[in-house]
Amino acid sequence: MSEHVSLDIFSHNQAAWDRQAEQAGPWSQPVDAAAVAAARAGDHRARLMPGPLPAGWLDQAAGWRILCLASGGGQQGPLLAAAGAVVTVFDASEQQLERDRLVARREGLTLATEQGDMRDLSRFADASFDCVFHPISNLYVPDVRPVWRECFRVLRPGGRLLSSFFNPAAFIGDRDPEYARQGLIRPRYPAPYSDLRDLEPAALAAKRAGGEALVFGHSLAEQIGGQLEAGFLLAGFHEEMQPTPRFVIDGYLPAFIATWASKPGA
């Protein structure tokens, strides 16, 4: 199916994430008081992936202007604010942002929340932030390159983009439960994957009718190459296995990839 269908992907995925937040999914569960107390003591434990950040990526956040991009849910933003950062949380979902405001009210934290499309950060001036913290989320937009360009623009020279995304190989397998029961990986979907292009019409219609978020498994050329095209320099690279595998392939390669990209300058 052509990706150029009459569909407002942003609005569809915005509504899908509002529902996920209301259902308290894993990325919509606000941090507790103990985590905030630890962050105030210098151990913020903000996550790009299920595991901890690599050493040196963001050890100390105090005084940093941080944009938590597509990072609502009451987790990363409040922890970084408790660690002393000046935090703006930006997300498509108002319900995800409400989780951040809930923790801020509960713990006496100061943070700003902004609702919008991660591909358009025009409300922020050039060089507004020291760090963009961008956990796995760009699979919800069909073209990731505008995200990288906007991140580059809003960062100061010397600022850093900390981002994570799915390994594109994680999307290639047939999802028939019978193959999973047999422990088989049957390649079916070419990379980069797209729900709009690769799902059968009936499966796509069912996903849309059920309010599930539509996803796009961007290639490494789009993810890492796109950062380099935007002007970034790659300063760090990290891979991580899926701790709770959903598909057979998750047991054989790192499902998660994270990068530290730096904007050149002083």
pLDDT digits (tens, 9 = 90+) for 60-116: 999 999 999 999 999 999 999 999 999 999 999 999 999 999 999 999 999 999 999
Tell me what the mean pLDDT of segment 47-59 comes to: 96
In angstroms, the CA 77 to CA 87 distance is 6
What does pLDDT average to over the chain?
95
Q: What is the pLDDT of residue 201?
A: 95
Dihedral of the alpha carbons of 113, 118, 123, 127, in degrees to the nearest 10: 100
In this prediction, residue 258 has a pLDDT band, given cuts at 50, 70 and 90, of very high
Exposure of 232 in the CB half-sphere (CA atoms within 13 A):
31
Q: How confident is the model at residue 250 (pLDDT cuts 50, 70, 90)?
A: very high
pLDDT of 8 reads 92
Average pLDDT over residues 131-149: 97
pLDDT above 90 for 264? yes
Q: Is the pLDDT of residue 157 over 70?
A: yes
Q: What percent of the chain has pLDDT over 90?
A: 95
Residue 39 has pLDDT above 60, yes or no: yes
Average pLDDT over residues 166-174: 95
User: What are 179-200's pLDDT values in tens digits?
Assistant: 999 999 999 999 999 999 999 9
Write down the pLDDT at residue 7: 75
What is the spatial distance between Cα 102 and Cα 92, in angstroms, rounded to a whole number? Answer: 17
Cα gap 100→112, rounded to integer Å: 9
SS3 131: strand
Asked if pLDDT for residue 158 goes beyond 60, the answer is yes
Q: How confident is the model at residue 266 (pLDDT cuts 50, 70, 90)?
A: confident
Please report the pLDDT score of residue 1 as a whole number: 37
Q: In the prediction, which pLDDT does 5 show?
A: 45
- Residue 4 confidence (pLDDT): 40
pLDDT cut 70: percent of the chain above it: 98
Best CA proximity match to 259, nearest among 183, 178, 154, 148: 148
